[in-house]
Structure 1
Amino acid sequence: MAKAREAREWAREGLRGIGDSLITPFAGVDGDDIDWDAYRALVRYCVGDLQHAMLWLTSGCGEFWALTIAERKQLLEVAVEEARAINPEVVIQACTAALSAKDCLELTRHAQDSGADIVYIQTPMMEVHAGEGVLRFFKYVADRTDIALGMFNSPSGGYVLTPGEAARIYEEIPAVCASKEGAFRPFSSRVLHDLAPGLQIWECDVSVYRAGWLREGIVGPAQLGTVGYLFETPQRRVLTEYWELIWDDKLVEAMDYAKASGLDQFDVDRGPWWTCYPGRPDYFTHWAAGHKYATSLLGLSPGAYPYTRPPQVAEIPDVAKAQMKSAYEKFGLIDS
């Protein structure tokens, strides 16, 4: 675990590789329980079978808004136990986003005590007074903890920090060392790098990596939170092979590989079902039901109750299931 004063030096070397944002498998009536066997198996699969270097826990894909504080703590503890038994060096990233600063602080302290390496705080989802309000929220947590902090800048939170606002948080809080820029606005990430060149940035618009932004140092060599485990299998490690080409600065080879392997086409074929709910098409969502159905297609358990908790829609439509299944068959990750 990186102490706050060591966070930026640690992040330069410690944050690299594929980071899996885990679903939360549910069980019981209406999904009121957690399917711990399915969760443990997913952790082992990502860290052991796929050999991914990082985990991203209790974040958007994990439905953090639908979990109790106690559940979020236990999910982190179980993941640390399972993952570190396989790979003691795996990087544990915990999202401690919460409506209240006190709940965020409680989760952050727990992550610090439980062996997480870094925690990410999403821009507060209610009543945030622009960058000043986010800065105050971060300061409240940072003043009371001693762990590396990251920003999670996503439109799903309702407010997206400007580059200047994010840079100010970085300038004023030494523990802040990384940012997952989830708004798909590469120009802003480039400006943020100019303002805060030491900040480790993951840009969710992955086209920038083909443009040489890693070579230029604008972005870092770490996927701070993705569903990489839904893009490959231990028998066909397409995503890993692609990113190793990117990290080795073999950009032309990476682009050729992405086309020849079907990775690029898979992004098109699987449709919008992971991030777009048809009833609210203008809103970026972490639609966990889509991720859970994809998990089941790969032979992994999405939980005995394979749906989501409120306020999300429990099931995705049949047309979505058919499109995803067809995409996975065409990609060659599952049999027809």
Structure 2
Amino acid sequence: MANARDAREWARTALRGIGDSLYTPFCGTDGDDIDWDGYRALVRHCISTLDHQMLWCTSGLAEFWALTIGERKRLLEVAIAEARAIKPDVVIQACTSATAAKDCVELTMHAQEVGADIVYIQTPMMEAHGGQGVLDFFRYVADRTDIALGMFNSPSSGYVLTPAEGARIAAEIPAVCATKEGAFRPGSSRMLHELAPELLIWECDTTVYRAGWLRDGIVVPALLGTSGYLFDTPQRRIFSEYWNLVWDDKLVEAMDYARTSGLDQFELDRGPWFTCYPGRADYFTHWGGAFKYAASLLGLPIGDYPHSRPPQAHVPPEAKTQIRDAYVRIGLLEN
């Protein structure tokens, strides 16, 4: 774990590799319980079977808004215990976003106490009075904790920080060492790097990696929170092989591999279901049920309640058909 004072020095060497954002497998009536054995198996699959380097816990993909404070704490504790028993140096990233700053502090303190390495805070989902409000939220948390902090600048919050606002947070909160830029606006990430070069950036628009942004030091050699376990299997580690080529600066080889392996086509074939609900097409979501359906196709445990908890809708049949067909076409699933 990095304390606030050493966060940036620690991050420069620690944040590397694939960071898996874990879903939450629900069970019981209306998904009111969590399949803890299934969750442990998912952690082991990511860290041991696939040999991925980081975990991103209790995130948007995990449906943090539908989890109690107690459930979020236990999910993090279980992930740390399972992962560190296999790989002691695994980097554990915890998302402690909450609508109340006090709840965020409670979750961040808990992450600090149980041994998470870094905490990410999504731009507050409600009542964020612009960049000043987000800065005040981060300051409130940083003043009461002592752990490395990251920003999670996602459009699902309803407010996306400008480069200047993100740079100001980095300048005024020394614990902030990294950011997951999830708004798919790479021009803003480039500007943020110019304003705050000390900040490690993961740009979710991965095309920038093919443009040499890693070589130029604009982005970090790590996926700070992705669902890499949905694109890798023990038999075909397509995702890992592609990113290893990128991180080795073999960009032409990486692009060739993405084409010949089917990885590029897979992104088109599976459609927008992971992050888009058709009834609200202008909103970026983390549709937990869609991620879990894809996981089920690969034989991963998702609990006996395969849906998301409210307020998310159930995944429609046409989405399942498109996702399944995509897995068949890329060869990760038999027809």
Normalising TM by the smaller chain, what interval?
Answer: over 0.9
Q: CA deviation at 1:335?
A: 1.1
What's 2:124 paired with? 124
SS of equivalent residue, structure 1 residue 166: helix
CA deviations over 1:159-207 (Å, ceiling 9, x no partner): 0000000000000011000000000000000000000001000000000
Q: 1:80-99, aligned counterparts within 5 Å?
A: 80-99=80-99
Q: 1:65-144, aligned counterparts within 5 Å?
A: 65-144=65-144
What's 1:334 paired with? 333
What's 2:199 paired with? 199
Amino acid at match of 1:325: R
Q: State the distance in 2 between where 1:218 and 1:202 align.
A: 9
Q: 1:1-336, aligned counterparts within 5 Å?
A: 1-313=1-313, 315-336=314-335
Q: State the distance in 1 between where 2:54 and 2:40 align.
A: 15
SS of equivalent residue, structure 1 residue 52: coil
SS of equivalent residue, structure 1 residue 19: strand
Q: State the distance in 2 between where 1:17 and 1:332 align.
A: 24
Q: CA deviation at 1:318?
A: 0.8
Amino acid at match of 1:335: E
SS of equivalent residue, structure 2 residue 278: coil
Amino acid at match of 1:327: A
Q: State the distance in 2 between where 1:231 and 1:60 align.
A: 19
Q: CA deviation at 1:217?
A: 0.2
Q: CA deviation at 1:87?
A: 0.2
Q: CA deviation at 1:52?
A: 0.4
Aligned length: 335
Amino acid at match of 1:21: S
* Identity of matched residues, %: 73
Query: TM-score under structure 2 normalisation?
Result: 1.00
SS of equivalent residue, structure 2 residue 241: helix
Q: CA deviation at 1:285?
A: 0.4
Q: State the distance in 1 between where 2:40 and 2:136 align.
A: 36
Query: TM-score under structure 1 normalisation?
Result: 0.99
Q: State the distance in 2 between where 1:35 and 1:165 align.
A: 40
CA deviations over 1:285-332 (Å, ceiling 9, x no partner): 00011001001000011111111100101x211111111111001111
Q: State the distance in 2 between where 1:89 and 1:173 align.
A: 26
Q: CA deviation at 1:127?
A: 0.7
Amino acid at match of 2:315: I
SS of equivalent residue, structure 1 residue 303: coil
SS of equivalent residue, structure 1 residue 47: helix
The answer for unaligned runs of 5 or more in structure 1 is: none
Amino acid at match of 1:225: G
Amino acid at match of 1:317: P
Q: State the distance in 1 between where 2:320 and 2:301 align.
A: 16
Runs of 4+, deviation exceeding 6 Å = none
CA deviations over 1:247-284 (Å, ceiling 9, x no partner): 00000000000000000000000011100001000100
SS of equivalent residue, structure 1 residue 243: helix
SS of equivalent residue, structure 1 residue 120: strand
Q: CA deviation at 1:68?
A: 0.3
SS of equivalent residue, structure 1 residue 20: strand
Q: CA deviation at 1:240?
A: 0.5
Q: State the distance in 2 between where 1:274 and 1:240 align.
A: 20
Q: State the distance in 2 between where 1:157 and 1:105 align.
A: 19
Amino acid at match of 1:316: V
Amino acid at match of 2:137: F
Alpha-carbon RMSD across the aligned residues, in angstroms, is: 0.5
SS of equivalent residue, structure 1 residue 61: coil
Q: CA deviation at 1:334?
A: 1.2
